[in-house]
Structures are given as structure tokens and as C-alpha cells.
Amino acid sequence: MEIQQSDTAVVFIDPQNDVLSENGTSWAAVGASVTENGTVENMERIFRAAKKRGYDVFISPHYFYPTDSDWTFNGPLEAEEFRTRTFARSGPLDLSGFRGSGADWLERFKPYIEDGRTIVASPHKVFGPQTNDLVLQLRKRGIARIVLGGMLANLCVESHLREFLEQGFEVAVVRDATAGPRHPDWGDGYKAAITNYRFLAHSVPTTEEVVDRMLR
């Protein structure tokens, strides 16, 4: 897949403390994969290259508000997120307690996300972008190709990938700018995701390859 500033954007899913910080609620499940892949460092390298070359950067965050706890049914991961208050916020218009919380951006990403140029979509609520305005935001800026990374590899990232493909985008998933959970009974989510990326995505490059193309 070609990567060019005119119609390619970087999209990062859930660059938030609960899935990328050692203090996050999900670290026990994802920490080994994040560490082995150098996920945080690689995401930052892509942020830096994108900002240097003027690529649009989009964030698809995950937030839960108190009213979401009234849902009458949830999958196993959703139930666990509510139990641990993963991505929890006080409300859609209430930022009390947000700074430094699990729902907040990883601190080292804030200079890139809060620079006044990064497009932060409304929150997705389960896994994919069907429940937020990310596709609209991409279309309104003439984006045709997406460099995709973030968390979690086999859940939100893969769900975004599948919807982007159905919407007609070309997508490159950066294989070491994501990570996945490991579960003693369910298996390794990252390995499952990589298998599916190879079948689905237009390319599955490394961070090194992506940054090299962006900086040419």
C-alpha cells in the first residue's frame, strides 16, 4: 500500500492509560505483549513522523459513562471492563477526575494528541467505529488510505480494520504498533490478530517501514 501525505492518515485506537500504562486496569493481560512489541515506543515514532510530515492523525477513543452501566447485556470483555472501570469517565461533558485516569491519554502521547491538529473522534462503545464519527471525519478530509495501530490488536484494532475495509479504505496495520491480551484459556489475542491482519489488510508493515515511507 502506498503511503502519501495527500490521502493517507494515521489512525490510533485507544492510546489510553488503561491499556498502555503499567498502572492500567488491563496491564496484567496486555503488558507482556506491549513490552515485547515496543508498542508505546513505536506508536510515538509514528506520531512524530506524522507530525513532521503533515499527515492527519485521528484518534478513536474508548470511554464509558455512568449511564452505560445500565446496559442489560454485555459480552465477557465488556463485563470485565465495567467491573474494573476500564475507560471510565464521569460523563460526556464532565472531565472531573479525568486527568491521569485510566481513560486519559498516555502522558507521552499528549504533546501529539493535544496539539490542536489531531482529530479526536467521538468514543466507540464496543469494538468498532460503527458507533462513532470516525469514518465521517476521515471522509470529510478526503482520506483514502489508513495507517492503523493502537489497542487492542484482536479487538478494537481488528474491528476498526474490518469496518474500514467494508467502507472502501486501503489499510496498513502496523504490526508492532499494537499489542494484544493473553488469557490462560482463550489464548494469545495478538497472535490471532496478526493471522487475521495478513488475510485482511492491504499490508502489515513494521514501524520502521512505515516511518521510512512517511519521511521520504
Q: What order do you get walking across the sheet with 56-60 strand by strand?
A: 119-120, 56-60, 8-13, 145-150, 170-178
Q: What is the pLDDT of residue 68?
A: 85
Categorize the per-residue pLDDT at 213 as very low, low, confident or very high, splitting at 50, 70 and 90.
Answer: very high
Q: What is the pLDDT of residue 106?
A: 98
The predicted model scores a pTM of 0.96
Q: What is the pLDDT of residue 53?
A: 98
Kindly tell me if the per-residue pLDDT of 144 is higher than 90: yes
Residue 159 near residue 60 (C-beta atoms within 8 A): no
Tell me the average pLDDT of the chain: 96
pLDDT digits (tens, 9 = 90+) for 108-142: 999 999 999 999 999 999 999 999 999 999 999 99
Helices (H) and strands (E) counted in the chain, each on its own, are 9, 7
> 1-5, 70-74, 100-104, 134-138: which has the minimum mean pLDDT?
70-74
CA dihedral 124, 191, 199, 171 (to 10 degrees): 40
170-178/145-150 β-pairing: parallel
End-to-end Cα separation, the chain, in angstroms: 15
What stretch of H or E contains 31?
helix 27-37
pLDDT digits (tens, 9 = 90+) for 54-92: 999 999 999 989 988 888 988 887 877 878 888 989 999
Q: What is the pLDDT of residue 70?
A: 84
Which domains, ranges and CATH numbers included, belong to the chain?
8-215 (3.40.50.850)
Q: What is the pLDDT of residue 4?
A: 96
The rounded distance, in Å, linking the Cα atoms of 98 and 206 is: 33
